Amino acid sequence: MSTPYRLKTWDEYVAAHRRSIDDPEAFWDDVATNYSWRKPWTSVLEWDFVKPEVKWFGGGQLNITENCLDRHLATRGDKTAIIWEANDIDHPSKHITYRELHAQVCRMANVLKKHGVKKGDRVCLYMPMVPSLAISVLACARIGAIHSVVFGGFSANSLVDRINDSQCSVVITSDGIRRGAKNIPAKTVVDEALPSCPTIGCVLVSKCTDDAVPMQAGRDHWIEDELKAVDAICPAEPMDSEDPLFILYTSGSTGKPKGVVHTCGGYMVYAGYSFANVFQCEENDVFWCTADIGWITGHSYIIYGPLLNGATSLMFAGIPTYPDATRFWQVIEKHKVNQFYTAPTAIRSLMAAGHDLPSRFAMPSLKLLGTVGEPINEEAWHWYHEQVGKKRCAVVDTWWQTETGGIMLSGLGDITPMKPAHAGLPLPGIRTILVDQQGNELHGEAEGYLCIDFPWPSVIRTTWGDHERCRLNYFAQYPGRYFTGDGAKRDADGFFRIIGRVDDVINVSGHRIGTAEVENAIDEHPDVVESAVVGYPHDIKGQGIYAFVICDHVRTDKDALRKEVIATVERIIGKIARPDKIQFVSGLPKTRSGKIMRRILRKVAEGEMNALGDTSTLLDPGVVEEIKAGKGMIA
């Protein structure tokens, strides 16, 4: 018996999931045969979640770009691979065919080679959402270099940490980044970072905004000039299944961001398989994922997933509210988008901009709507389903993580039933379970900690340079299991509803921010002695950042101080981590052993002053009274 690659009915889903549990190796062996391999694998899976060590398709060799590009040339050479829609509405959009994309990736790969980049080297990308970003990502993969994309909203300081952690040898950037009405001087940020990055010998700069930027002779090169001087043929480097494909940094509950490592074979199989089944694209459909390629969603569902399936992927350089809050609907209408995949934060902000705005646009092409990144509340879910999808479109709420590489829980197109605000069922091959605090598995209808009990092809392999950190973060809490860090509920039908993070991670607009990271940044302000950061419910962003800050002397100019603290966070991490609220306090609620009781701070931030629970174990219960009283003064 074999399982179809692309499932088309509920019965096929049930059968595929059953088989993936009963005989995972046979199941994945079948799925993987849908790709082109240089050398077949000799072992489907070897694993040990205690070490942890996971190997998929061992002995096999492949190059993911052959699967994304070369494989399609005979049948889809003239099909559009990427539609690019610019930030500015009057800027012409671009259609890039598979043949053109193939040639451009090969050229860029040759540019990288010319500058000495070899298999296994790390390349950092700090770029706007332009085709040359997707091309550069694929060019790295073509020659076996490991890409590390850093989102344009991160500061020079964050860039330094990421470049140095993985010892990148090259940075690819652009003159500037235009997002909405804002301008990020990308090249200037890179210039600011590089004096602290001894491993970087070369900067490749793409001309995107025509901003004048200084070029350092010998180090900096214009990509457009370099491309003219190289060949459009570049053989793909054969990669072992378990060779790293990319590193992507993400925040955790402690310390600095960690570099999540994904590998060539398993990531390819799962990104492709999950895309095919969740979004159910037909051959001539246009798929649009609104994420930035700086996040995993962009990696898996703008670049790799769609291209592996020969789909047409729309890439948008702008933001939902520029020039106004109808931009998404205009783009859907203009490019006849069939599948639209965005974040609850965007949905909530567009809903707030005018409930009936989508109705002004004809969007008959839409067949499926997806959400990702954070829990979607029922009101937003219904608005999306009714006002955007006109009740005709399936809505899939996709739950997954940077570490999972692809979607884990979701509806599959319209073949599985939908439940508002539920991420739904596990994909075939995914064994999600709930456990209690002690790690006992909970059965049936239950609420608990969400774990995954068995490897899937795109499970995180390691955190770059620090395997122990990977073990401690994901595999140590409940030995033998991957722990997601999320709490979830399962209903009587087996549908999951994600509650949210149970660790010290805040989810702001679908972006993961570590509270410890923000605290460390705030503490860099010369007047700050200590700080504690918690999340609180935010109407649009899902969660906002609330900071309690202790200073070493009383300053009366609280507004100026607040601005300075925000500027410090922007400098150390980037704009995405700026606190929404700052409360200056003289002490923090701590236990006798010195641990901050965040539970109390969370309640204060939520405004639930009378539900603080037991405060008798505090070193100084008086602190709580002061914090409660001061809360009224916060803007």
What are the start-end ranges of the H helices in 385-483?
467-470
SS3 letters across 51-73? CCEEEEEECCEECHHHHHHHHHH
Q: What's the CA dihedral at 20, 22, 26, 30 to 10 degrees?
A: -30
In this structure, the strands spanning 202-206 and 170-174 are parallel
- Selection from 587, 480, 581, 597 nearest residue 529 by Cα: 587
Using CB under 6 A, which of 61, 342, 398, 583 touches ligand WT7? 398
* SS3 assignment, position 299: helix
374 touching ligand WT7, by CB under 6 A: yes
Using CB under 6 A, which of 423, 551, 585, 624 touches ligand WT7? 423
341 touching ligand WT7, by CB under 6 A: no
User: Largest Cα–Cα distance of the chain, in whole Å?
Assistant: 75
Mark 499-528 with x for binding to ligand WT7 (rule: CB under 6 A) and - for no binding.
-xx-----x--x-x----------------
The footprint of ligand WT7 on this chain (CB under 6 A) covers a number of residues equal to 24
Region from 41-49, 391-399, 434-442, 623-631 binding ligand WT7, contact rule CB under 6 A? 391-399
In the complex with ligand WT7, which residue's Cβ is closer, 315 or 582? Answer: 315
In the complex with ligand WT7, which residue's Cβ is closer, 49 or 399? Answer: 399
* Strand order through the sheet with 146-149: 220-222, 202-206, 170-174, 122-126, 146-149, 244-250, 258-263, 462-463
Cβ at position 289, least distance to ligand WT7 in Å? 11
In the complex with ligand WT7, which residue's Cβ is closer, 176 or 485? Answer: 485
Cβ at position 256, least distance to ligand WT7 in Å? 16
251-266 per-residue burial string, b: 16 or more CB within 10 A, e: under 16:
bbebebbbbbbbbbbb
In the complex with ligand WT7, which residue's Cβ is closer, 485 or 574? Answer: 485
**Number of separate helices (H) and strands (E) present in the chain:** 20, 31
Region from 92-100, 321-329, 396-404, 601-609 binding ligand WT7, contact rule CB under 6 A? 396-404
What are the start-end ranges of the H helices in 459-586?
467-470, 515-522, 558-572
464 touching ligand WT7, by CB under 6 A: no
Region from 149-157, 295-303, 411-419, 586-594 binding ligand WT7, contact rule CB under 6 A? 295-303
In this structure, the strands spanning 258-263 and 462-463 are antiparallel
Mark 471-490 with x for binding to ligand WT7 (rule: CB under 6 A) and - for no binding.
-------------xxx----
d(Cα 524, Cα 553) in Å, to the nearest integer?
Answer: 15
Cβ at position 392, least distance to ligand WT7 in Å? 22
Strand partners, 246: 147, 262
Using CB under 6 A, which of 318, 375, 455, 579 touches ligand WT7? 375
Restricting to residues 240-259, which ones interact with ligand WT7 according to CB under 6 A?
Answer: 250
Task: Please give the residue ranges that form the binding site for ligand WT7 (CB under 6 A).
Answer: 250, 295-297, 372-375, 397-402, 423, 484-486, 498, 500-501, 507, 510, 512
